[in-house]
Amino acid sequence: MQTPTIIYQFYTYIYYDPDTLQPFLVGKGSDERYKFHLTCSLKSSHNPHKFYKIRKIHNSGKEPIIKLLYKETEDEAYELEDFLSHHWELERFGGLLVNLQYGGRGGTKGLKRPPFSKEHKKKSSEAHSKNISNYLSNW
């Protein structure tokens, strides 16, 4: 008797720069949502940083590396998106991601938080370093 294949509908996607292998975009999706950013034009993009980052990669003759992390539920996909967006931090706060807002259900549009102290960043980084392996262990 064969074990049935489980197909999950929801996932968290991560775009990586093919030259640096650094993540630069995180999102939650289903179906082919992750492809949307590849075909977005400047006119249709509300995020010029994302547009120019992807265009720069395309102009070098390459494609972003895209990883899909499938989750059992939509809530789990949102939770992972939120975790990763905080772990890698938004570019405007000195992080890696060109996302306009943190992930998770509803995001935090228009977020303007004060910068974290060095001590807070250190403690957060240590905690995330220990926890991220749990989230990414299925790669």
In the prediction, which pLDDT does 55 show? Answer: 92
How many other C-beta atoms can be found within 10 angstroms of the C-beta atom of residue 13? Answer: 20
pLDDT, tens digit (0-9, with 9 covering 90-100), for 37-85: 888 765 667 888 899 999 999 999 999 999 999 999 999 999 999 999 9
Q: How far is CA 6 from CA 70, 80, 88, 134, in A?
A: 11, 20, 30, 21
In the prediction, which pLDDT does 114 show? Answer: 45
SS3 content of the chain, % helix, strand, coil (to 5): 40, 15, 40
In the prediction, which pLDDT does 97 show? Answer: 97
Query: Average pLDDT, whole number, for the chain?
Result: 80
Comparing 8-12, 26-30, 106-110, the range with the smallest average pLDDT is: 106-110
Whether the Cβ atoms of residue 22 and residue 98 lie closer than 8 Å to each other = no
The domains of the chain are located at 10-136
How far from chain centre, in Å, is Cα 102? Answer: 9
